[in-house]
Amino acid sequence: MNFDLTAEQKMIRKLMRDFAEGEVAPGADERDRTKRFPKEIFEKMADLNLMGLPFPEEYGGGGADTISFAIVVEELSRVCASTGITYSAHISLGCAPIYLFGTEEQKQKYLIPLCQGKTLGAFGLTEPGAGSDAGGTRTKAVKKGDTWVINGSKCFITNASYAKFVSLTALTGEKEITAFIVPTDAEGFTVVDSYHKMGLHSSNTTELVLENVKVTDREILGERGKGYKQFLITLDGGRIGIGAMAVGIAQGAYELALQYAKERVQFGQKISKFQAIQHKLADMAMEIELARLMVYKAAWLKDQGRKFTKEASMCKLYASEVAMRVCNQAVQIHGGYGYMHDYKVERFFRDAKLTEIGEGTSEIQRNIIAREIGC
């Protein structure tokens, strides 16, 4: 397996580095303070044909691969993790299930506008009583004549305030979970944006409330009763996105710490000359590189059509824990300034924590890895 980037992947990395530094980074701190969602950034990304990057051109996508998707998420997250998670969720949770399991009619109706950036993608699985235990879904869809009537709620849903429709799960029988594509403007569908979060302040995280929301068989995503399995497959791909997001956060925090260490003078010399600081930075650089390679490996396996469940969990688990360690040390290297908003690393530290929780907690990832290795 060769991880030399292709010419196209290098081009995408350069494009995204320039875009992230020119369009995303300048307002990141202010958006974090004001909790403003950067809708204009995603409009510009749509103009660059990035909102459907890994999907076929026939659906308005860019025809790129999963490694390219990971590069985009990393470069965005390197300067603003809120932007990174918004994009990652749009692609891996919003677009992917429709591409993987949707009918041709559904792809024409829903996937094309997603890839064109005319709406953001969202995915409703988690419920107040069904987090790690995703099989504990309580939202119900009852068939009445030609329609399904859905009642229930979802929580911690990314992008729903800016989504015209959401793919979500509901019980359609005893222990039978089915996925539906539900318009957010349907009667009885309410999106509640009222969370006060630790980090990722300029990403959109919502609750969904469904009260007698009506859809038809044409809105069933995939086969009836296969929703749980479909969403587990979706989460495998989503974990590559979270892994890439974690690598980006870690890279950004490391670069800030390295720059600060080369400028900060204590005891008559730059603190980068002290071995204690050098060892911290060396460990950070090493772990980031290892995490990036794990993300690329999982992405490469996915692109080869090979099984990647174990590698997706490994890259997500390792990269998220690396991000927390790196951000912690970046704050430490900054000393008292690291605790202050103006030095950015405290934002990276707060944002990194979600990577250990979203798309399956670290504990769930270890369960998956243990299962995959035959325990």
Cα separation of 349 and 329, whole Å?
Answer: 10
Q: What is the CATH number of the domain that holds 48?
A: 1.10.540.10
Mean pLDDT of 153-159: 97
From the centroid of its chain, how far is CA 226? Answer: 23
35, part of any domain? yes
Same domain, residue pair 135 and 181: yes
Q: What is the CATH number of the domain that holds 160?
A: 2.40.110.10
- Using pLDDT thresholds of 50, 70 and 90, give the confidence band for residue 131: confident
Q: What is the CATH number of the domain that holds 307?
A: 1.20.140.10
Mean pLDDT of 202-230: 96
359 is catalytic: yes
- Domain boundary at 210, 225, 240, which? 225
Same domain, residue pair 214 and 244: no
Would you say residue 164 has pLDDT above 70?
A: yes
267, part of any domain? yes
Mean pLDDT of 133-157: 93
Residue 130, pLDDT score: 85
363, part of any domain? yes
Total domains, the chain: 3
Of the residues 219, 311, 346, 359, which is catalytic? 359
307, part of any domain? yes
Same domain, residue pair 300 and 232: yes
Contacts 24+ apart (CB under 8 A), 172-178: 172/140, 172/141, 172/143, 172/148, 172/224, 172/225, 173/225, 176/224, 176/225, 177/135, 177/137, 177/225, 177/227, 177/228, 178/141, 178/220, 178/224, 178/225, 178/226, 178/227
- Using pLDDT thresholds of 50, 70 and 90, give the confidence band for residue 170: very high
Residue 134, pLDDT score: 77
- Using pLDDT thresholds of 50, 70 and 90, give the confidence band for residue 37: very high
DSSP letters, 159-204, are SGGG-SEEEEEEEEETTEEEEEEEETTSTTEEEE-----SS-TTS-
- Using pLDDT thresholds of 50, 70 and 90, give the confidence band for residue 2: low
Same domain, residue pair 360 and 236: yes
Q: Residue 102: how many CA atoms within 13 Å on its side-chain side?
A: 20
Cα separation of 65 and 191, whole Å?
Answer: 32
- Using pLDDT thresholds of 50, 70 and 90, give the confidence band for residue 4: confident
Mean pLDDT of 158-172: 97
Same domain, residue pair 337 and 261: yes
- Domain boundary at 80, 101, 116, which? 116
Q: Rg of the chain's alpha carbons, rounded to an integer?
A: 21
Give per-residue pLDDT as tens, 313-329: 999 999 999 999 999 99
Mean pLDDT of 3-31: 95
Same domain, residue pair 152 and 208: yes
Would you say residue 373 has pLDDT above 80?
A: yes
Cross-strand pairs, 265: 270
196, part of any domain? yes
1, part of any domain? no
Same domain, residue pair 18 and 77: yes
Mean pLDDT of 11-26: 98
Would you say residue 1 has pLDDT above 60?
A: no
Would you say residue 237 has pLDDT above 70?
A: yes
- Using pLDDT thresholds of 50, 70 and 90, give the confidence band for residue 293: very high
Sign of CA dihedral 308, 309, 310, 311: positive
Q: Which amino acid is located at 181 in the chain?
A: I
Give per-residue pLDDT as tens, 244-253: 999 999 999 9
217, part of any domain? yes
Cα separation of 290 and 156, whole Å?
Answer: 30
79, part of any domain? yes
Q: Which range marks the domain in which residue 38 is found?
A: 7-116
- Domain boundary at 225, 249, 280, which? 225
Same domain, residue pair 156 and 49: no
Residue 136, pLDDT score: 87
Mean pLDDT of 203-214: 98
pLDDT averaged over every residue in the chain: 96
Residue 189, pLDDT score: 98
Mean pLDDT of 283-310: 97
Same domain, residue pair 194 and 232: no
Same domain, residue pair 334 and 254: yes
Residue 135, pLDDT score: 81
Mean pLDDT of 319-341: 97
Same domain, residue pair 81 and 189: no
Predicted structure pTM score: 0.96
Same domain, residue pair 272 and 348: yes
